[in-house]
Chains A and B, each alone.
Chain A
Amino acid sequence: MKSLLTTLSLCLALCLSGPGLAGGLDPTDFDDPVLEQRYRAMLHELRCTVCQNQSLADSDAGLARDLRRELRDQLRAGATDEQIIDYMVARYGQFVLYRPPLSAATFLLWTGPFILLLIGLAALYLTARKSRQRDEQPIADAAARERARRLLNEGKDA
């Protein structure tokens, strides 16, 4: 029991320490809090292309560090968010974006979950309707009704 508690608390500690703190890996020296805020927001929009399921904020890979430096340099040079996004997409493709724009290639990515939801809702509706129809059907056969009544009463006698 005690070891279980230790394990659980260690897991919790690991979960809490991971990506949340990693965002502050590089020392930032923005004088302007607005720039700082834009920088932090952009970090979560851009993917680290080496460690594919992490954002630039989460990753400590060499390339992620370089890309963060590039991002800071460009922000300081006065680039707009759009310009920076365009710069990254021109070099790494739309894969670098965590929220790629809707296009023919990303159509399923964006609509897939909703299509699956619709299919699920349709299946639910059809099943529910069928089972209701079954329940509402009265037992027409008199002999069967008599048998059902006997079966129901059997339990009471015992």
Chain B
Amino acid sequence: MKRLRYLLPLILIMVLGGFMMVGLTLDPRRVPSPLVDQPAPRFQLPALEDPERLVGSSDFDGEVVLLNIWASWCVSCRQEHQVLVAMANRGVPIYGLNYKDERSDGLNYLRSMSNPYVWNAHDLEGRVGIDWGVYGTPETFIIDRQGRIRYKHIGPLSWQDAQNKILPMVEQLRRESL
């Protein structure tokens, strides 16, 4: 019993260390979104490509799509760009929400790289972004046929994310009936 008492500090340190080890693997920026499994917020905005044309969530009703929030000033958006292009080439419809960006900057960004987006909505003031609970770009939402958000990815998508999570989920949601 007495010897056990000397072990107590060691045990306490190890428990504390265990908590800290787990803490190292957690990302405090990943805040779970309450919007997952909720109906996606509706919006209508001028298109980035053409301010006269209005685009919005009704364009992808009944379809399984990705909505990607991006901006030209967002460095990690460039990092995931090729992954988006690759997914678009595989037939995944990707819609863009250009978030708090000048129109010319956004268009230049698209011109300098290939464009994976069906269209881009121009959210200059970030109001639609707030409605979607956006707090960091890039963010990618998967929306099902019923117009519900089924998954939210925060931060740049890697090809692993696309292969292990996004593409299988899109496939699975497509099989769900309307």
Q: Contact residues of A with B, CB < 8 Å? A: 49-50, 52, 62-63, 66-67, 70, 89-93, 95
Contacts and interface: CB of A to CB of B under 8 A. Distances in A.
Main SS of the interface on chain B? loop
Interface in B74-109: 100
Contacts of A91: 34-35, 130-133
Given A89-B34, A91-B131, A62 B136 contact: no
B130 A70 contact: yes
B147 interface: no
A62 B126 CA distance: 9
Given A63-B135, A91-B131, A52 B34 contact: no
B77 to A, nearest CB: 15
Contacts of B100: 62, 66
Interface string B15-33: 0000000000000110111
B156 interface: no
Nearest to B73: A62
B130 A50 contact: no
Interface in B27-84: 28-29, 31-35
B69 to A, nearest CB: 12
A67 B100 CA distance: 13
B135 A92 contact: yes
Nearest to A62: B100
Contact of B34 (A50, A62, A93): A93
